[in-house]
Chain A
Amino acid sequence: MVKIMKKNQQKTKFQYKAFIWLSPAILLLLIFSYYPPIRTLMFSFTDANGAGIGKFVFLDNFIELFSSQVFYRSLINVIIFIAVGMFVGNIATILLAELLYNLKSRFASAFYRFLFIIPVLVPAVVIILIWQYIVFAGGDSGIANRIMGFFGGDNQNWYFDPKLAPVAILLTAFPWVAGTSFLIYLAGLQNISSGVIEASKLDGANMIQRIIRIDLPLLKGQIKYFVVMGIIGGLQNINLQVLVTGSGPGTSNATNVPAFMLFEEAFTYDRYGYASAIGIVIFLMTLAFTIFNMKKLKGND
């Protein structure tokens, strides 16, 4: 009895040994995750060029950014890329999850699920290179041009045509279904209790009604997660620009996005201060969106 009471007392006490377990994380995070944002904020008010902090210029970088045509073009591009990419991507993956979920044969469902994971395992850079050199290859040897030819169209330059380049970026990795998000959506569906499904059937709901009224609301937690992660990922994913298209053909800025502007300003022109200001603006956009998303979706609960 005494022992138990002693134990209960101990439980309310702080166990400082926890900090031994936390120390590797705290040390790493302070150095590599908390110091850099503060430094970026400092940079953004200066004309730093990679060698030291530079001269304080207050809001000059931000004024330059907001009066730059290129920035607005990049902003519109990234909004289109994220909006279309996420909308189509999430719908396609949920649709695929629904298809596999509605298969009666458990074996077939598991087997297809396995097959759809394989493309995820191809390195991201390899996917880009495949699309650059095989799918959107110029001339007669590209798959896309072959399809164009089949329908009587002309060969196109895809990534290097000012009009087509943004479309080509959106089409890359079509049909966008393979991904871990698809696994998580499928698991979400499989966790819905069969009782709910049966009840909906008794009430005479068809498959479409069931998907809209039951499945989607129950997947809300997962959708929310992938929307937030899709925005954060979409704002910073510039592999295609760095590897293939750059800011777009000529001076069109057809494929430019703020993150690529940041990258170019920092590592091509050594303008750390201006690049950091772009970074701060990207961060504020993420923050605003996250808060909006949390509030809005919470309200619907």
Chain B
Amino acid sequence: MRLLKFLRKNYVEVIITTIVMVLLLLSFYPLYMLVIKSFKTISDDQSNPFGLPVVWSLENYEYAWIVIKPYLFNSLFVTTIQTLGIVTVGSFTAFAFVRFNFPYKNTIFYMIIALLMMPGIVTLTSQYELVNKLGLVNSHWGVILPAISGSIPFATFLLRTSFSGVSTELLDAATIDGATDFQVYYNVMLPISKPIIWTLVITSFIGGWNDYLWPSLVLLDEKLHTLPIALVNFTTSYYGMTGGYGAPFAAYVISSLPLLIVFLMASKQFIAGLTSGSIKM
């Protein structure tokens, strides 16, 4: 009786919670299977592909770690430099548009923003020729520099909206107190805009960490490979050797951890920035 009463009173909540649970289940089930399988030995997975491991084995993780460690560091290097570059150049640009008055201001702004409408794939051939001519094929800079350039339009768009919400009086007050432009930027603008900066850091980091196509074209030398390339190669070679996927699955789990850590560190700021209303047209 009590249950019925509860259901009648809260039926909307109950229905919503049920649907949300089903969606969560659907979203997480493949990830759950990945984690489960990464702890199984090959014979265990073959005899019982859907159940829990008979013995929780760390073998796969030990092997995967040895294989992917160098690529993990390659990815960390490329992604970190790229993210720093995007945030620095993007915030410089946005600061200039918000703080200064200069000739052709609007024209330059639209010239930058228009690039948002240019799919990167359009310039695949010429971008490759360019990077090749600059001697950046087989260099991490051949990945980093085009990626920073490609992200400037979005970073400028996002940060300018947020920066222009900062009160001009406050910035002027700092200037009158004798702060240089760089001090106004570094000590006033950036701290106030922390949430949106973190949003840009996390979206750039996710973007860099995920990038597959372009790095796979530029980084021909195996030693330079980033994690996504290494994961694909590792999966094929390990399957060829053993007929199973245990160790590559462990490698997938390991390679998902850095993003999770970055996100947990800054989830509050990230959500606050993303939901501040800067993204719409």
> Chain A interface (Cβ within 8 Å of chain B)?
11-19, 21-22, 24-26, 28-29, 31-33, 35-40, 43, 48, 50, 96, 99-100, 102-105, 108, 112-126, 129-131, 133-135, 140-141, 143, 146, 174-175, 177-178, 180, 183-184, 186-188, 190-191, 221-222, 224-225, 228, 232, 235-236, 238-239, 242-243, 259, 262-263, 266-267, 272, 275-276, 279-280, 282-283, 286-287, 290
B152–A25 contact, CB under 8 A? yes
Cβ of B39 within 8 Å of any chain A Cβ, yes or no, is no
Which residues, 234 to 262 on B, are CB-close (under 8 Å) to A?
235, 245, 248-249, 252, 255-256, 259-260
Contacts A21-B92, A21-B96, A143-B29 known; 5 new A-B pairs at CB < 8 A: A15-B100, A22-B93, A25-B90, A180-B274, A232-B117
Ordered by A's residue number, 11 sampled pairs between the chains whose C-beta atoms are within 8 Å are: A18-B96, A25-B90, A36-B127, A39-B126, A43-B126, A50-B129, A125-B232, A146-B50, A222-B279, A222-B280, A232-B117
Chain A residues whose CB sits within 8 angstroms of the CB of B27 once the complex forms: 116, 119, 175, 177-178
B95–A183 contact, CB under 8 A? no
Complex Cα distance, B227 from A112, in Å, reads 30
B126–A125 contact, CB under 8 A? no
A117–B267 contact, CB under 8 A? yes
Chain B residues whose CB sits within 8 angstroms of the CB of A12 once the complex forms: 101
Q: Distance in Å from the Cβ of B6 to the closest Cβ of chain A?
A: 14
Q: Distance in Å from the Cβ of B237 to the closest Cβ of chain A?
A: 14
Chain B residues whose CB sits within 8 angstroms of the CB of A238 once the complex forms: 121, 213
Which residues, 107 to 133 on B, are CB-close (under 8 Å) to A?
108, 112, 115-130
Chain B residues whose CB sits within 8 angstroms of the CB of A239 once the complex forms: 212-213
Partner of A103, one of B13, B217, B235: B13
Complex Cα distance, B266 from A165, in Å, reads 39
Which residues, 196 to 235 on B, are CB-close (under 8 Å) to A?
203, 206, 209-210, 212-213, 216-217, 227-228, 231-232, 235
| Known contacts A21-B96, A118-B260, A32 near B127 by CB under 8 Å | yes
- B147's closest neighbor in chain A, by CB? A32
A25–B89 contact, CB under 8 A? yes
A283–B129 contact, CB under 8 A? no
- B260's closest neighbor in chain A, by CB? A121
Q: Distance in Å from the Cβ of B94 to the closest Cβ of chain A?
A: 9
A123–B256 contact, CB under 8 A? yes
| Known contacts A100-B20, A119-B31, A184 near B124 by CB under 8 Å | no
B123–A36 contact, CB under 8 A? yes
Chain B residues whose CB sits within 8 angstroms of the CB of A16 once the complex forms: 102
Q: Distance in Å from the Cβ of A53 to the closest Cβ of chain B?
A: 9
B119–A232 contact, CB under 8 A? yes
Q: Distance in Å from the Cβ of B47 to the closest Cβ of chain A?
A: 11
Of A36, A124, A129, A177, most B-chain CB atoms within 10 Å: A36
B26–A175 contact, CB under 8 A? yes
Complex Cα distance, B251 from A11, in Å, reads 57
B16–A36 contact, CB under 8 A? no
Partner of A279, one of B19, B31, B37, B121: B121
- A187's closest neighbor in chain B, by CB? B275
| Known contacts A125-B231, A184-B274, A130 near B16 by CB under 8 Å | no
- B261's closest neighbor in chain A, by CB? A121
Chain B residues whose CB sits within 8 angstroms of the CB of A100 once the complex forms: 16, 20
| Known contacts A243-B212, A276-B126, A290-B117, A102 near B92 by CB under 8 Å | no
Q: Distance in Å from the Cβ of A251 to the closest Cβ of chain B?
A: 23
A-B pairs with lowest CB-CB distance, top 10: A187-B275, A221-B280, A32-B149, A18-B100, A39-B126, A236-B121, A36-B123, A21-B96, A125-B228, A141-B49
Number of A-B pairs, beta carbon distance below 8 Å: 266
| Known contacts A14-B103, A222-B280, A279 near B122 by CB under 8 Å | yes
Complex Cα distance, B24 from A113, in Å, reads 10
Cβ of B148 within 8 Å of any chain A Cβ, yes or no, is yes
Partner of A32, one of B145, B212, B216: B145
Q: Distance in Å from the Cβ of A247 to the closest Cβ of chain B?
A: 15
Complex Cα distance, B24 from A99, in Å, reads 13
Interface residues as binary, B41-55 with A (CB distance below 8 Å gives 1, 0 otherwise): 000011001100000
Complex Cα distance, B245 from A282, in Å, reads 38
B263–A121 contact, CB under 8 A? yes
Complex Cα distance, B50 from A143, in Å, reads 8
Complex Cα distance, B117 from A190, in Å, reads 29
Q: Distance in Å from the Cβ of B163 to the closest Cβ of chain A?
A: 12
Cβ of B34 within 8 Å of any chain A Cβ, yes or no, is yes
B274–A134 contact, CB under 8 A? no
Chain A residues whose CB sits within 8 angstroms of the CB of B120 once the complex forms: 236
Of A19, A26, A121, A130, most B-chain CB atoms within 10 Å: A121
Chain B residues whose CB sits within 8 angstroms of the CB of A178 once the complex forms: 27
Cβ of B33 within 8 Å of any chain A Cβ, yes or no, is yes
Complex Cα distance, B27 from A96, in Å, reads 12
Of B13, B20, B146, B210, most A-chain CB atoms within 10 Å: B20
Complex Cα distance, B103 from A279, in Å, reads 33
A134–B20 contact, CB under 8 A? no
